[in-house]
Structure 1
Amino acid sequence: MNEQPLVSVIIPNYNYARTLSACIEAVQQQTYPSIEILVADDHSTDDSVSIARRHGVTVLETPTNSGVSIARNLGAEHANGQILFFLDSDVALDPDAVANAVAALNADPRLGAICGMYRAEPLFPAGLIKQYRAIQQYVWFGEVEGRIPGLHSALCAMRVEVFREIGPFNHRLRWTEEQEYGFRLNTRYEVRATREIRGRHDHDATVGVLLRKVFQRTRLGAPNWMRLNRLPGGAATGLRAIGSGFVFAAVLSLLLVPWLGPWALLGTAALLGIGIVLDARTYLYAYRHHGVLFGLQFTVLHLMVMFTSALAAGLGIVQGLLFPSWVRRLYGTEMTA
């Protein structure tokens, strides 16, 4: 590989005109000198395409809205670089992110992909929900630095020959494509996450959108996690999943209040306490860095997310057990071997 291989930064996009300029400009300001930028637009209905063209980057367009996997694959198909850097259009990279990604790939031929992490501050700080999500993902991603069983496709790099060997992103998936690709990639290579590749993410701004995404990704991912007997975040995710179960049980225990009275409330408090302890680092970060008032608000939101993820995981597991052919058809046996 050349000393400074060309890096193709592939930005899949659908209706993210509000963040696309910041995303592209951050790539254009990278310290690494050999970069081409391809925006793979998934038939946006806002001003995304015109914004991308004003920045002088290559713009590719899908004929219909087909999902992020199709957009990423389209970008990879037209890329000229020896390294592909996939970057979501709502992420603004730190200036040294691409240089650090290239250095990591050059240092270890066994490395299939190197993934970055979000910073604790959202791209456009505005409101409690964005700040909550930024902290949650900052803590969770930071726990799995090093080798990971999944993939952080929002900001990750791989050699073009590895992408061709593993194959394209699964176009059948719209919520769990990165989990499945990471599982597939890990059968032949190592995938690692590092704090050396950072970016600020424009997180969800409303509770409804946040919970809907958590529910969909968990429900659709759970059958495949069960089938493969592994979780995308490793041991830390396992403890947190157990904690979510305790939060779910705590909410259900409230149904017993008419019969058990204070004893049921005591049980609810105990179950909530266990659920919080199993994810203590997340709560502690919020209290330590943003104070008690924010910490209390954070706690309420996080308990809602934990309950939603437990409910979704349970439904997904039941769905996988009752309809195994649906799981095989969705993911494809060849995709998860």
Structure 2
Amino acid sequence: MAAPLVSVVVPLYNDRRTVDLCLRSVLEQTYRKLEVIVVDDASADDSAELAGRHPVTLVRAERNGGPGATRNLGVQNARGEIIFFLDADLTLHPEAVAQAVELFEENPEYGAVFGIPDKEPLFDDGPVCDYRILQYHYWRKSAEGLVSGGFYALGAVRRSAFLEAGWFNSALRQTEEIDHAERLAARFPLLLTSRVRGRLSDESRMRPLLRKAFVRGRLRVPFYLDRGRAMQGMETGGRAAASVLAALTLLTLPSVLVWPAAAPVPVLALLACVLADLGQYLFVARERGPAFLVFFTGCHLLVSTAVVAGLATGLAQWSFSGRFRRMYRTGVPA
């Protein structure tokens, strides 16, 4: 059986810091039957020019359309039987594409295989970045197996399966992945696997990380309420409870200053929060030691509280906005 052509689709938006590393990692893959399509989403920096210095097909969007529209444009220009999506702030391990092809050969029923980033960041960008990368890695590693959520920053999809599920909804800017993966998972098994690996650069400052957590939490509300459940894999009941307990910890902590007798409330809430996702904290303690674990826990309390605030805001918006309730109901045919 002839080896399939793999189209590596790289969405690009103001990624001048990482684009060379990203494309070099693609061009150094052990699997050689591939084409590389870089889609510039109207970048304001010179990242498209840097990408154009590599042997790739460079497609330029006329205006900024977001990740969904950019990935759609990449697929439209791709010829491969397998579409390998790779965000420009990621690099691939040399065997990543080969492993994805092997997994499809071993499991012809799979619609997609999604990879897991390393526990080390692409750059040494400080403790907030380390927190994010460790948390990102652990949650995905702990969910390894069949999932209903998609991680299109690092993952391969059969072209036929992608077209059957339909295009990314370009109206969605933060949650286009969960929407597309839900349609894909309704038709095909999706695998999350550490056989496909990469290294990620992520947020190094807390403020944009909290904003992202809040927005994604808010935009997930109509998705969850339409389906009556969370995504299979990372989003467990224990982690949902841990997020609520994290918010309770931070909300009740100031009361201790005016009423010291209330001290057991935030302490018990924090303890329950940690126990609800204990494996994560044990993993961080093994990797980085107790001092960093304290910092990690503080960061995670803040991020979890931002998620809960986003969900609460989303519930309020869902109650009075019909447009918000219907945001995931628009069909996106192939």
Cα distance between partner residues in 2 of 1:215 and 1:29: 37
Mapped contact 2:168–2:332 kept (Cα < 8 A):
no
Using the alignment, how far apart are the partners of 2:149 and 2:276 within structure 1?
A: 22
- DSSP 3-state at the match of 1:334: coil
Aligned match of 1:14: 13
Supply the AA of the counterpart residue of 2:331: E
Kindly report which structure 2 residues correspond to 1:126-205, keeping only aligned pairs within 5 A, or say none: 126-205=125-204
Q: How many residues end up aligned between the 2 structures?
A: 333
| AA at the equivalent of 2:198 | G
**Structure 1 equivalent of residue 288 of structure 2:** 290
Of 308, 311, 314, the residue aligned with 1:313 is 311
How far did 1:223 drift?
2.2
Match for residue 271 of structure 1? 269
Superposed CA offset, 1:40-96 (max 9, x none): 110001111111111121100100111011110000000011110011110101111
Q: Distance in 1 between matches of 2:287 and 2:42?
A: 40
Q: How does 1:72-91 map to 2 (within 5 A)?
A: 72-91=71-90
Whole-angstrom CA distance in 2 between matches of 1:205 and 1:258: 31
Distance in structure 2 (CA, Å) of the matches to 1:335 and 1:36: 26
Query: Which range moves more in the overlay, 65-74 or 310-319?
Result: 310-319
What is the rounded CA distance, in whole Å, between the counterparts of 2:237 and 2:319 in structure 1? 20
Deviations 1:244-275 (A, max 9, x none): 1011122222454477x233211111011111
Residue in structure 1 matched with residue 229 of structure 2 by the alignment? 230
1:43 and 1:64 in contact (8 A); partners too: yes
Tell me which amino acid in the other structure corresponds to 2:39: A
1:17 alignment partner, SS class: coil
* Structure with more of its chain in helix, by fraction: 1
3-state secondary structure, aligned to 1:170: coil
- 8 Å contact from structure 1 (residues 149, 233) kept in 2: yes
Task: Write the distance in 1 (CA, Å) between the matches of 2:260 and 2:232.
Answer: 37
1:332 aligns with 2:321: no
C-alpha RMSD of the superposition: 1.7
Partners of 2:234 and 2:71 lie apart in 1 by 29
What are the ranges of 5 or more consecutive residues in structure 2 without an aligned counterpart?
A: none
Q: Tell me by how many angstroms 1:234 deviates.
A: 3.5
Which moved further from structure 2: 154-163 or 9-18? 154-163
Structure 1: runs of 5+ lacking an equivalent: none
Letter of the 1:304 partner, please give it.
Answer: L
Q: 2:208 is aligned with what amino acid?
A: V
Shift of 1:126: 2.1
Preserved contact between residue 131 and residue 296 of structure 2 (Cα < 8 Å): yes
Preserved contact between residue 39 and residue 60 of structure 1 (Cα < 8 Å): yes
1:246 partner SS: helix
Percent pairwise identity: 37
- Identify if the C-alpha distance between structure 1 residues 235 and 23 changes in structure 2 by more than 3 Å, giving closer, same or farther: closer
